[in-house]
Amino acid sequence: MDNSLSDIIRILSTTGIGPRRSLDLFQKFGSLQNIFSAQPRHLIEVPGITQKIAQAILTPLDADLLAGQEKLLEKFDVKLITLWDTTYPELLKQIYDPPIVLFCRGDIELLNSQSIGIVGTRTPTSYGKEIAEEFSFELAKRGFSLVSGAARGVDTVIHQGALRAKGKTIAVLGNGIDRIYPAENRDLYHKIGTKGLLISEFLMGSKPDAQNFPRRNRIISGLSAGTVVIEAAEKSGSLITAYYALDQNREVFAVPGNIKSRQSHGTHSLIRQGAKLVESVDDVLEELGDKYHLGTSHGQQQLNISTDPKETAILKHLSSTDAVHIDALASLSGQTTFALLGTLLPMEMKGLVLQLPGKYFKQK
């Protein structure tokens, strides 16, 4: 499907429009061009589109923004892969809120390769680094593309291990591809851009803002047949990636660690909740099967865990009879959809809420 660069930049830069709403708009109007020529009364028929957002949609694209994006795309040799392109990764299409555009630098054939995500703490112990090196090297040697987030810590070790094995790796960024974060990974960025693949759903020039990383995490899990967590604290971004993987019906693996180390608390929590305990690469491959089909988590245990204040606030807006759409719940709770998902998914694992088709939730 032919969508012009200006239309793509326009939808990405419109305030109040994320991946899911962009997709809903596209499904209603059939093309980006039709969205921008629609009447406001028709735009607000789409769930989550208010009068204010409709007005933002119809605001013309800033010519300087478009020119700046074009210049950066050319300078950094970045290709755009849209949701409607044949090269768009099939696994990623299956998630609830796939990015409508991927900014790519490197080998785009990796988008549809057999991939496994590996994530973990930014402050790994020597044990965590050793396990990350072993798993990344062995899986890369066996032909898997390793997907991680290019952050310091475990992510960095994963990418380095794959490259050391002369394998392939995909770095999913929480910023524009032209920005390097963290700064000490400059050389690694260049190596991945040459021998692997850098991808982002964010406009060129986008800063690594905190709210970008939950969105980044759903892409890591969405690209992968399974996600391995190596060392994660109790409230870790790696756990958000694992919860997204569960929500996407993908396998979640957790490497056990030292019970006295805070970096093990998150991985041990995942194991208690049904993630597969893995001690070797063979454990991962055994679960995925010879053909690496998607699997489902085995017997997730429901835990009677007390809710934290965020969970309590969400439960106030839910009942056991009437389901609430996630966009409406986000509005009621004053959170973004992505931040809300990071709370709802562990609540679902605890047995506090029930998710229904179409991203509706109610108390369980």
**280, 233, 235, 274: which is closest to 255 by C-alpha?**
280
Q: Domain 5-70 is of which CATH architecture?
A: Orthogonal Bundle (1.10)
Handedness of CA 36, 41, 44, 50 (dihedral sign): positive
Cis ω before 182 (30° cut-off from 0): yes
The topology under which CATH files domain 309-363 is: Arc Repressor Mutant, subunit A (1.10.10)
pLDDT band (50, 70, 90) for residue 354: confident
pLDDT band (50, 70, 90) for residue 240: very high
**pLDDT number for residue 292:** 46
For 256-299, the pLDDT digits (tens) are 999 999 999 999 999 998 899 999 999 999 988 743 443 333 33
CATH 3.40.50.450 domain locations along the chain: 92-288
What CA–CA distance (Å, rounded) separates 64 from 109? 32
**pLDDT number for residue 167:** 97
pLDDT band (50, 70, 90) for residue 242: very high
**pLDDT number for residue 2:** 59
Q: How buried is residue 56: exposed, middle or buried, by Cβ count under 10 Å (0-12/13-18/19+)?
A: middle
For 293-334, the pLDDT digits (tens) are 433 333 332 223 334 677 788 888 887 778 898 888 888 888
**pLDDT number for residue 143:** 93
CATH 1.10.150 domain locations along the chain: 5-70
What CA–CA distance (Å, rounded) separates 160 from 148? 11
The topology under which CATH files domain 92-288 is: Rossmann fold (3.40.50)
Lowest mean pLDDT among 44-48, 123-127, 334-338: 334-338
Q: What is the arithmetic mean of pLDDT over 132-158?
A: 97
CATH 1.10.10.10 domain locations along the chain: 309-363
pTM, two decimals, is 0.80
Angle between helix axes 126-141 and 281-288 (nearest 10 degrees) is 50
**pLDDT number for residue 302:** 28
**pLDDT number for residue 301:** 27
Please report, rounded to a whole number, the percentage of residues in the chain having pLDDT higher than 90.
73
What CA–CA distance (Å, rounded) separates 221 from 241? 6
